[in-house]
Amino acid sequence: MCPPPPDRSPMAIIEIEGLKKEYRRLRGGVTVAVAGLDLVVPEGGVFGFLGPNGSGKTTTIRCLLDLVRPTAGRCRILGAEARCDLPSVIRRIGSIVETPALFPTFSGKLNLQLLGRINGIGATSVDDILERVGLADRADDVVKTYSLGMRQRLGIAAALLKDPELLILDEPANGLDPAGIKEIRDLIKRLANEGRTVFVSSHILSEVQQVCDRVAILTRGRCVAAGSVHEVLSQGRATGLFLRVERPDLALSALQTAGLDATRDGDALRVASPPSDAAFITKVLADQGLYLTELRPDEADLETVFLELTQDPVVEEVAV
């Protein structure tokens, strides 16, 4: 029996509360894959679901799609309880879980046609979607002759075939070459611009940073950071300002005299001050006749924050 649904958060497309998933081991004991995860994914844009291998990303996605039964907690997707009401919203959800699995001895087109027919989607839509992911000229070839990138694109085509509001993509860039990764990135951007919500799990952080509006970082089955990319970046090492000036020694002295926490970094300087102090710094240096050649926020990248927040990627194991 499903519990009565709580009030849905306005504009939340995915809500996860206290999600826990344990796997019993044959030799006794339990492996905790997800340990009390709370997460809200707002409607629209691209949401990055980040974490090292074994952090519980795929298990969470499997819980959302009712492929695995949570040990505790609840998942709501498009307002429906995943355990009970998923069939009522499944037509609005497109998904890839890990490697897209399609019949290797069928053509790409036949695979999509068979899936589409479940929802009464016609052959024209299949042709359109194959065109869209750049597989139209290989549509009649059997899938086992496809490269990994082509299979990935075929999986995305299958996910898009329903014209979904929500796309759940689990590691869509896995195994792709740089060109393939860029293709996927551009496709995700286009899909988000069309008004869809894209929930993308990945450990390729540079890619995520370029396409995501919001991210959540998962480690050992728990969410350790969530919010806009900027908010999450600010949870990393302290932000500051990075500047270049023609005479860095003099500039360093001037800034320290002005009470700022400035340090030398090669031929540049770092100042541990918020970006709002940029005007003050400019004035201090200008008063000394020193003029900036570069001034920008000294912000950690997502990879640095990710590594800081997810230092131990080993899945927590609890003996019983």
Partner 1 sequence: MRRLVGVEMTRLTARRGIRLLVLALLIITVVAGTTVFLKSHRTTPERLARARAAVASEHARCLSGEIKPFDAPPGVELDPQQFCDEQFNADNVRIDKQFHLSSFRDVVKGTATFMVILGLAIGATFIGAEWSHGTIVTLLAWEPRRYRVVAAKMIGCAAVVFAGAVVFEIILGAALVPAAIFRGDTAGLNGMWYRDVAGTVLRGATLAVIASMIGVSIANVARNTAAAIGIAFVYIAVIENIIRGLLPGYQRWLLTLNAGRFLIAEDMTEFPYRSTLGAGLLVAAYALGIFELSTATFRRRDIT
Residue 30: closest CA among 20, 18, 38: 20
Q: Are the beta carbons of 240 and 298 closer than 8 angstroms?
A: yes
Min dist. Cβ of residue 86 to partner 1 (A): 5
Min dist. Cβ of residue 68 to partner 1 (A): 4
Residue 242's SS3 state is: strand
Min dist. Cβ of residue 118 to partner 1 (A): 5
Residue 50 to residue 39: CA distance in whole angstroms: 12
| Smaller CB separation from partner 1, 18 or 104 | 104
| Smaller CB separation from partner 1, 66 or 299 | 66
244-251: long-range contacts at Cβ-Cβ below 8 A with a sequence spacing of 24 or more?
A: 244/268, 244/269, 244/292, 244/293, 244/294, 244/295, 245/269, 245/285, 245/290, 245/291, 245/292, 245/293, 246/290, 246/291, 246/293, 247/290, 250/288, 250/290, 251/285, 251/288, 251/290
Bridge-based pairing state of the strands 45-50 and 197-202: parallel
| Smaller CB separation from partner 1, 60 or 209 | 60
Residues found near partner 1 in the complex (CB under 8 A): 23, 62, 65-69, 86-87, 90, 93-95, 97-106, 110, 114-115, 117-120, 158-159, 162
| Smaller CB separation from partner 1, 46 or 167 | 167
Min dist. Cβ of residue 154 to partner 1 (A): 11
| Smaller CB separation from partner 1, 102 or 295 | 102
Other C-beta atoms closer than 10 Å to the C-beta of 104 total 12
Min dist. Cβ of residue 114 to partner 1 (A): 5
Min dist. Cβ of residue 221 to partner 1 (A): 15
Burial of 33 (0-12, 13-18, 19+ CB in 10 A): buried
| Smaller CB separation from partner 1, 90 or 255 | 90
